[in-house]
Each structure stands twice: as structure tokens, then as C-alpha cells.
Amino acid sequence: MDSAGHDIAATAPTGGWLVEMRAIEKHFPGVHALRGARFDLRAGEVHALMGENGAGKSTLMKVLTGVNQPDSGQILVEGRPVTVPGPRAAQELGVSIIHQELHLMSHLTAAQNIFIGREPRRMFGWFTDDVKANADAAALFQRMKIDIDPRGEVGHMTVARQQLVEIAKALSFNSKVLIMDEPTSALNDTEVAHLFAIIEDLKAHGVGIVYITHKMDEVKRIADRVTVMRDGETIDTLPAAGTPISQIISLMVGRDLADASRAEGKGGGEEALRVVGLNRGSAIRDVSFSLRRGEILGFAGLMGAGRTEVARAIFGADPIDSGEIYIHGRKQKIAAPSDAVRYGLAYLSEDRKRYGLVTPMSVGDNVTMASWPRFTSASMFMRDGALRKTAGEYVSLLKVKTPSVDQETRLLSGGNQQKIVIAKWLLRDCDILFFDEPTRGIDVGAKAEIYKLLQGLADQGKAIVVISSELPEVLRLSHRIVVMCEGRITGELDGRTATQESIMTLATLRPAAEPIEAQ
């Protein structure tokens, strides 16, 4: 029997218990984060931990890894009661974690990040041995079957490559228990396949893996068991193979979600944005497209295809070599993000922690930061009452789980942080909005809310670009779909008739002189 009372002999691996967590309680100011939560893990299994954002998944794992101390409850490792006063103690117990939010130092190399604090030494320990560190990091990358230079600075890498460095760092501890918090959120299909191969190898060697994800297809592909949490409580533990996805979702959200449906109509108002001949080195090559009011334009393509680079160039975050940008029919020069905001553009970055938020600041300050002049009086003093009232309205609109708008943003879950970035740009009331991976790290219930929100914005006449690596998301939201490969647009599809197969065909098509017309 498992911790929820289910007979799992036919579905779980035969290894003994690596971890048992019993009746875990945890309070934060204004938040009862864990309510008698329980969880267990066997050797050689993948145990998926699921729930909506704010359900308590990450908090429970932070208790296991010593980041947070429980108010009460018991933790056993290999049958022995333990206390975990800090992350180093967890590592000594054989427990490592790959966080959803990356914890890397951008000015250091990949190898330096992997072995920081435990660098190989030479000359009787007087000097660090960079040659050995690079060689050991290269061996990890080779094991993962990925091509990353261990001497490359992490700050110059894409989010996907940074995620892989984080995974390599966790693997370097040779842990008995490996916690993966949304490990594939920034990986493409090939990288995900490599990760799953690594996981299977780890299972074969008796490692137990806690797999936190919102992606149902991954649960079916990789998990042995599933534990669902809601509002800080453990709701149920079930075998992954025999449990329908609909049942898991129902346990997560406590309600049935409406079936997915595609965007209706053509979204064909007047032209809001036209981009002509945009170029930036090899990252963007002769990109041209238009966007109309009331339309959601999807941008699809494999990782590195140039989708994010196009958005950043239009928003003025990166310089362009050539090209023209027309906003509401008028040619405009956008040399910096401040220019873009002045012309009514907004950009929700795929890396919310780095570009979208100031996490030590309050929820209210983050929601209103792009609109502060609106809350400044004639004497240049901030009108705190108006700021807090408006922030509270948007927190309520997006159903952000926070005790108040005064809560520090860093204390919220990743999904709720994402909602705050969206709220910031909604308050700015921009006409043209770029959403880059808008539901990255967001659970199924919150995704449905975000989809409804985006469709509502389009109905109001907003012009929206959605960049997403999830093809079902692109198909559900988009009136039209632009597909990129190697920095070029390789085709455009009608959102009503496009399929995952037609998108992937264009996404893997070597760029030709002319893109394929909409189908």
C-alpha cells in the first residue's frame, strides 16, 4: 500500500522507500502553505508531483531539501528519521533539486556553475583545477548527449541551455534522490528525449526521481506514480499508467475544465503592426509579417528558430541591422524598449525572473511599475492608496494567489509570478502585446484562465502575438500561425485548419527564398 492507501505492487518499482514525508505543516506570513502534506518515493521510480500553482508542491520539496523548515511533521530517508537544516545537509543525505527558477551565476562558465563551492583543486589545494572541472563538466554533457561548451559563460546561453546546465549540476552530485521542478519548460523535443533517456538510466541505477510538472503527456511517458496536491494538502496518490488524465486534472483543480476549442473568426480588424525585411545577423533573416487588431498571431518553431529574437528586436531590446516597423500605418523607429512602450507595445518575456519582475519588491509595485506616472501626484509623490487599489483589482482579475498586494513577489509560486507580469502589461493598456511562452510553468487550471484572458483581449480589439513551444497552445489560441526555422519565416497557416503535423513540417523546413503561403 502507498501513502494514500492504494495497492501499487503492480505498478511501482520494487525498490525500498527512499523518502517518506508525513504530516508536514508549514506557515508563511498570511499563508498556510502545507496542511498535513505527505509524500513518499521508492528507489528506481519516477513519482510525479502535481497540482495548481500555489498548491504546495515546491514548498514541500523545499522542506525536503532544507530550504524551508517545517513547523511540524516527520521526514524519513531510507527508513531513518532525519532533520534537514539546510541544502548542504540535504545533499549529504543524497537529495538534490533542479529548481524551476534557474539558480546560475551568469558571469561564470558552465563548468564553474556546476562545481561552484566544490571545485577540483591542484598544487596541494592552493589553486582551482579548471582543466579538470572543464573535463568533468564535458563528461556530464556527453552523458546527457548535449553539445555545450563547459568553458562558455552561462549569461550568453539561451534559457534552454541554462536549464540543461542546471540539470547537469544536479547530476554531478550522484544523488539517491533527484527532484526535478519543471525540468522541460525550456527544452525542445530533442532535448526532452535526451532528458528522458537520462532519467531511465538513473532509474536503472536505483535513483528515485520526484518529477514536478504541469505537462500531462510527460506524466504518461515517464512517471510510475502520481501524487496530486491542492491548497497545501495531499489529495491522492495514484498509479500513472491506469489513471486517466481527466481524473488527474479534476483532482488538481477541484472542478471540471471546459474542453479546449480553437480561436473563432479571423480576427481581421485594421492593421496594427507591420514588419518588413527585419534582419539581425544570422538570428533574424528577412522577416516580414503583419498583425491586425482583434487577432492572435501565433509564432511557432523549434527552439532557436528565431521567434524570441524577432520579438526582442521589435521591442527594441536588441539592435537590428535593417528592416522597417509600422505601427498603425506609420513607420516608427524603435531604438529601446521605452520607445516601444510609448508606441503602445508590450512584451512579456519568456524569462520572467530576469526581465519581467523585481522579485524583492511587492506584488503591488510589480503590477504597477510600468504605469507609475499614472500614480504620481503633481508634487511627484506616489499615491499609494490608488496604487494598492488598482493592483488589487488586477490581482483579483487574474486570480493571483497572494495574501495581499504587499506580499514580496519572490514568495509567490512561479505561475503566480507569471500572472503578475501579465497584469503589469494589462494595466499599461497597450494596443499590441507580445506574449513569449505565456503559460510556461503554469498549471492546467491557470492555463485555461490565461487562454480565456488572451481571447478576451483580442475580442476587445487588442493585437496579440503568442510565441509558444507548445503546439496545442498555438493551435488553440491562434487565428493565424507564422512558422520559423533558422531565423526565417518558412510558412504561414490558417489557425482553423492547421495541424501539429503541418506546423512541424514548416518548422523543420530549411528556409527557402519564399515562405509557403497560408493554407
DSSP output for 191-212: HHHHHHHHHHHHHHTT-EEEEE
Q: CA nearest 181: which of 363, 25, 415, 409?
A: 415
Torsion of CA 365, 366, 371, 376, to 10 degrees: 10
Q: Are 413 and 54 in contact (CB under 8 A)?
A: yes
Q: Are 80 and 141 in contact (CB under 8 A)?
A: no
For the chain, percent of residues with pLDDT exceeding 70: 87
Query: Quick check: helix, strand or coil at residue 302?
Result: coil
User: What pLDDT, on a 0 to 100 scale, did the predictor assign at position 76?
Assistant: 96
Q: CA nearest 273: which of 465, 429, 482?
A: 465
User: What pLDDT, on a 0 to 100 scale, did the predictor assign at position 90?
Assistant: 94
Classify domain 1-94+175-256 by CATH number: 3.40.50.300
Q: Does the domain spanning 258-344+432-519 belong to CATH 2.140.10.10?
A: no
Task: Return the sign of the alpha-carbon dihedral for residues 208, 214, 217, 218.
Answer: negative
Rounded to whole angstroms, how far apart are CA atoms 493 and 502? 8
* pLDDT at 41 > cutoff 60: yes
User: What pLDDT, on a 0 to 100 scale, did the predictor assign at position 266?
Assistant: 56
Rounded to whole angstroms, how far apart are CA atoms 291 and 297? 7
The overall pTM is greater than 0.75: no
The pLDDT-based confidence of 159 (bands split at 50, 70, 90) is confident
Q: Lowest-confidence range among 159-163, 224-228, 328-332, 377-381?
A: 377-381
Q: Lowest-confidence range among 125-139, 174-188, 329-343, 375-389?
A: 375-389
* pLDDT at 163 > cutoff 80: no
Rounded to whole angstroms, how far apart are CA atoms 4 and 464? 44
C-alpha grid cell, residue 48: 510525479
HSE-CB of 32 using CA atoms within 13 angstroms: 9
The pLDDT-based confidence of 10 (bands split at 50, 70, 90) is very low
Q: CA nearest 417: which of 351, 370, 477, 473?
A: 351
Amino acid at 151: R
The pLDDT-based confidence of 20 (bands split at 50, 70, 90) is very high
* pLDDT at 515 > cutoff 60: no
Rounded to whole angstroms, how far apart are CA atoms 164 and 187? 8
Average pLDDT estimate for 118-137: 82
* pLDDT at 111 > cutoff 70: yes
Rounded to whole angstroms, how far apart are CA atoms 168 and 146? 10
Rounded to whole angstroms, how far apart are CA atoms 282 and 247? 46
HSE-CB of 350 using CA atoms within 13 angstroms: 19
Q: CA nearest 312: which of 159, 152, 480?
A: 159
User: What pLDDT, on a 0 to 100 scale, did the predictor assign at position 260?
Assistant: 56
Q: How far is CA 19 from CA 38, 105, 189, 226, in A?
A: 11, 30, 31, 15
Q: Are 313 and 329 in contact (CB under 8 A)?
A: no
Q: CATH 3.40.50.300 in the chain: give the residue spans.
A: 1-94+175-256, 258-344+432-519
Query: pLDDT for 462-506, tens place per residue?
Result: 999 999 888 888 999 999 999 998 899 999 999 989 988 888 788
Those residues whose C-beta lies under 8 Å from the C-beta of residue 87, and which sit 6 or more positions away, are: 65, 66, 67
User: What pLDDT, on a 0 to 100 scale, did the predictor assign at position 81?
Assistant: 96
More confident residue, 272 or 198: 272
User: What pLDDT, on a 0 to 100 scale, did the predictor assign at position 47?
Assistant: 97
* R_g (Cα) of the chain, nearest Å: 24
The pLDDT-based confidence of 263 (bands split at 50, 70, 90) is low
More confident residue, 508 or 113: 113
The pLDDT-based confidence of 12 (bands split at 50, 70, 90) is very low
Those residues whose C-beta lies under 8 Å from the C-beta of residue 176, and which sit 6 or more positions away, are: 18, 43, 78, 94, 95, 206, 207, 208
User: How is residue 119 annotated by DSSP?
Assistant: -
Rounded to whole angstroms, how far apart are CA atoms 417 and 236? 27
Q: Are 503 and 300 in contact (CB under 8 A)?
A: yes
List the alpha helices (DSSP H) in 369-413.
Answer: 384-397
The pLDDT-based confidence of 100 (bands split at 50, 70, 90) is low
User: What pLDDT, on a 0 to 100 scale, did the predictor assign at position 79?
Assistant: 93
Q: Lowest-confidence range among 68-72, 139-143, 262-266, 369-373?
A: 262-266
User: What pLDDT, on a 0 to 100 scale, did the predictor assign at position 237?
Assistant: 96
Q: How high does pLDDT run on average in the chain?
A: 84
For the chain, percent of residues with pLDDT exceeding 90: 40
